[in-house]
Structure 1
Amino acid sequence: MDRTSYGPSDVTEEIWTGLGLPSEALSRVQLEGDSGPALPSSFRLGVLAQSSIALSALAAAQIHALHNDVQVPRVEVPLQHAVIEFKSERFYTIDGQLPPAKPNAIGGLHRTADRFIRVHDSFPNHSNGMLELVGLPLGSTREQLADRIAKWRSLELEDAATVKGKLAAYALRSYNEWDNLPQAKAIADFPISVQPIFSEGTKGFPDHMPTGATGCLKGLRVVEMSRVIAAPLCGKTLAAHGADVIWVTSPSLPDLPQIDREFGRGKRTVQLDIRKSADKAKLLELIKDCDVFIQGYRPGSLAQNGLSPEELGKVNPNIVIANMSAFGPNGPWAGQRGFDSLVQTCSGMNVSEAEHAGEGEPARPLPCQALDHVSGYLLATGVIAALYRRVVSGGAWRVDVSLAGTMKYLRSLGQYPGSQGFQCKDHKKQADVPIEYLETRETGFGRMLAVKHSAKISGCEVGWSVMPKPLGSDSAEWS
Structure 2
Amino acid sequence: MAGNDLIPDRSDFTTADTIAHIWNHLGLPAEFVSSLSLPDADRHSRSGLPSSFKIGHLAQSTIALSALTAALFQSTRNFSIPRITVPLLRACLEFDSEKLYTLDGNKPDFSGGLKSFGGPVQKTADGYVRIHDGFPHHVAGALKILGLPPTASRDDFRSDLLKWKSIDLETAAMESNCVIAALRSYEQWDALPQAQYIPSIPIHVHKLESGAPLIPPQPPGGSDRCLRGIRVLELSRVIAAPVAGRTLAAHGADVLWITSPNLPDLPDIDRDLARGKRTAQLDLTTKEGKAKLLELAKDADVFIQGYRPGSLSAKGFSPLELAQANPNIICANMSAYGNQGPWGGNRGFDSIVQTGSGMNVSEAEHFGEGDAGRPMPCQALDHASGYFLATGICAALYKRATEGGSYEVDVSLAGTMKYLRSLGQFPGKTGFDCPTTGDQEIEEYLETRQSEFGELKALKHSAAVEGFMPGWDILPKPLGSDKPEWV
Whether the TM-score (by the shorter chain) exceeds 0.5 is yes
Which residue in 2 is equivalent to 1:264?
274
Spell out, residue by residue over 1:242-294, the C-alpha distance to the aligned partner (whole angstroms, 9 max, x if none): 00000000011111011000000000000111111111111111111000000
Spell out, residue by residue over 1:349-408, the C-alpha distance to the aligned partner (whole angstroms, 9 max, x if none): 000000000011000000000000100000000000011111111111000000000000
Which residue in 2 is equivalent to 1:110?
122
Counting aligned pairs with the same residue, the percent is 55
Which residue in 1 is equivalent to 2:134?
122
Which residue in 2 is equivalent to 1:460?
468
Give the Cα separation in 1 of the matches to 2:222 and 2:263.
Answer: 40
1:140 Cα shift?
Answer: 2.6
Which residue in 2 is equivalent to 1:13?
20
Asked if 2 retains the 8 angstrom alpha-carbon contact of 1:100 and 1:257, the reply is no
5 Å-filtered alignment, 1:26-425, equals: 26-37=33-44, 38=47, 39-69=49-79, 71-106=80-115, 108-162=120-174, 164-199=175-210, 201-207=211-217, 213-425=223-435
**What amino acid sits opposite 1:76 in the alignment?**
T
**What amino acid sits opposite 1:140 in the alignment?**
A
1:36 Cα shift?
Answer: 3.7
Spell out, residue by residue over 1:127-149, the C-alpha distance to the aligned partner (whole angstroms, 9 max, x if none): 10111111111233444322211
Q: Aligned pair 1:436/2:444, yes or no?
A: yes
Structure 1 stretch displaced more, 33-42 or 77-86:
33-42
1:314 Cα shift?
Answer: 1.1
**What amino acid sits opposite 1:408 in the alignment?**
K
Give the Cα separation in 2 of the matches to 1:228 and 1:367.
Answer: 18
- TM-score, length-scaled by structure 2: 0.95
**What amino acid sits opposite 1:99 in the alignment?**
P
Give the Cα separation in 2 of the matches to 1:142 and 1:55.
Answer: 45
Give the Cα separation in 2 of the matches to 1:377 and 1:438.
Answer: 20
Which residue in 2 is equivalent to 1:24?
31
- TM-score, length-scaled by structure 1: 0.97
Give the Cα separation in 2 of the matches to 1:462 and 1:142.
Answer: 46
1:209 Cα shift?
Answer: 5.5
Give the Cα separation in 2 of the matches to 1:390 and 1:252.
Answer: 35
1:202 Cα shift?
Answer: 3.4
Q: Secondary structure at the match of 2:279?
A: strand
Structure 1 stretch displaced more, 103-112 or 151-160:
103-112
Asked if 1 retains the 8 angstrom alpha-carbon contact of 2:76 and 2:215, the reply is no
Give the Cα separation in 1 of the matches to 2:101 and 2:153.
Answer: 28
Give the unaligned 5+ runs of structure 2: 1-7
1:104 Cα shift?
Answer: 4.6
Give the Cα separation in 1 of the matches to 2:396 and 2:154.
Answer: 44
1:313 Cα shift?
Answer: 0.9
Give the Cα separation in 2 of the matches to 1:110 and 1:463.
Answer: 40
User: Aligned-pair RMSD on alpha carbons?
Assistant: 1.4
Q: Secondary structure at the match of 2:410?
A: strand
